[in-house]
Chains A and B, each alone.
Chain A
Amino acid sequence: MTVATRSAPSAVRTNEVTKVYGRVTAVDGVSFAVAPGETVGLFGPNGAGKSTLLRMLAGLARPSSGTITLDGTDLVPGDHAVHRAVGVVTHESMLYDDLSARENLRFHADLHGVADPAARCEAVLDAVNLSGRSSQYPSAFSHGLRKRLSLARALLHRPDVLLLDEPYAGLDQRSVADLAAILDGFDDRTVLLTTHDLDRGVGRCDRALVVDRGRLQADVDLDETSAAFETTYRRAIGVDDGSNGGVGP
């Protein structure tokens, strides 16, 4: 098990990043680097600090200390270059229920200054298999469809880095398979995803970062099976007897 900052050219690099909310330290001195095109999973139990870390990488939260760089440029929340480089999917869809799927995408395309926004919206709707539902409102969508539309929103501006917070959470088997198939089409992008689902995470990711109690506990290449990684994971979060509720789908 290694916990070290890799020195290869990185699309994303964090250096001793810490986030404190009042008296709670959500993220505590986390350092790692992600190479361009790499898919990295952030694994950890509930409350480990994964989502907070992802929100800082997205520029939605400012680190209390430490630095984050994207393609060598320091990340500053509100920096336009950062927001052009990153696409984000979280638990919430970040969409308006009063706008149709197409109108939502058009709104975000305009905000991002996407060239030929109408054509791009149709292209991403097609990419996530929602062309036939583009006139419908997100409020009428199932959780899986909202997730797909959220992914379409995140892909609109062709970001180099995709940040996915629990992309499989709350999805049935079919929706998970659909989402996995869609993500297969974006293997050339740098992807950071958080998940509880060890099987799917191991299947999708090149590397795993295990986070617990705000700290990076392990950084492992995923050339092992999910069963082998589960042992590594349990050891990293200090649970060896299989009784920890944070493991599993």
Chain B
Amino acid sequence: MIKPLRKKHLQIWSLWALILPLGMIAALIARKPVVNDAFGQVQNGKALPVVIAEKRLGQNLLQLRGTGPGAVQQLLWINREPLNVASATIYLSGLPLTPSKGGGTASVRGQLQQEANKNSGSQQNEDKGIYIGRIEIRGNYVFGLPPQKEYHFLVYDFIHQQIISRISFSEHDVAGRKETSQSSPTPNTKL
């Protein structure tokens, strides 16, 4: 190797020795708390017996489940048809989200910021909410949920940074006034 090339090699790696650690640290600091262990995906995938509320999203079914009426502990997502995106994640949002005019393709940050502005000074909606889990292939997905009066879910494509869908369960739904609370077996996972 000639001397200028040797010098260039050393200069580049001296620079990389500064940039790479800084980039890594910055990326780690910027990481959002993606998973709250308390509400993460239930490892054994077993749904609780009582269906407290139920809603449809196309062919797919969403059930709030628990051990008794009004005591929501789980979200069971029955994915009968694959979603149109491979990078779908579910968030439990703090406030109900209205559909955007652009058919659900507005950026999360923009839309949530608008809603935050409506709620004058409230910082609650500046993020997507609590990460619940990820939907991939067809099947049943069971997610743990914190106890709340109402539930607003956001299906979010993390690659394209876009909202795919919003599903809300109102206080009435959760209380079991709109949907009949009943004991229901877990659906067959092979759909």
Query: Is the A/B pair a real complex?
Result: no
Residues of B bordering A, CB below 8 Å: none
Residues of A bordering B, CB below 8 Å: none
